[in-house]
Structure 1
């Protein structure tokens, strides 16, 4: 069992190193694309594409105050954007009622595909 724990520990350390390296490479690629003024480009045999998404980040207190019905709040529990979006799509919550409870955050995703 000690060998398994040791192996697990080593893999977790490798994972941390890889995540750090991926973050650094991602930042460099994003900076390159920004310098080029491009959201889609080909570099060697790879196609690089930047996809912009908007994500809502809810203010827990404002949302709680707005959703006075404890049954609805219990469904949401801790603010989870996916749950709130689902409840909105199901018309349990009106988008208009909660429009002041979130800020829209723009996130850029990096996609790299081999040609």
Structure 2
């Protein structure tokens, strides 16, 4: 068990280092694309694509007030954008009922693929 715990610790440290390096590389690539004013770029055998998205971040208290039916609230258990979107699509809840329960967050995704 000692070896497993030691290996787990080593891997977690390696994961932290990898995530830090990924973050730094991501920032450098994003900055390069911003400087070049491009969102799609081919570099060598790789293609870089910048995708901008909006995500809704729900406020638990406001959402609970907007959805007084405990049955609907239990279906959600915690705000999950895809579950909420599905309930709207199924007409279980209306977009109007939850209009003031979320804020929209703009995010930018970096995709790097091999050609």
TM-score, length-normalised on structure 2? 0.92
* 2:103 is the counterpart of 1:103: yes
Deviation of 1:99 after TM superposition, in Å, equals 1.5
Return structure 1 stretches of 4+ with deviation > 3 angstroms: none
- Aligned residue for 1:38, secondary structure, equals coil
* 2:63 is the counterpart of 1:33: no
Deviation of 1:44 after TM superposition, in Å, equals 2.1
- Which residue number in structure 2 is paired with residue 18 of structure 1? 18
TM-score, length-normalised on structure 1? 0.92
- Aligned residue for 1:50, secondary structure, equals strand
RMSD (CA atoms) = 1.2
- Higher deviation after alignment, 14-23 or 66-75: 66-75
Cα offsets for 1:1-54 (capped at 9, x unmatched): 211211111111101110111011111111111111100011222110001111
- Which residue number in structure 1 is paired with residue 8 of structure 2? 8
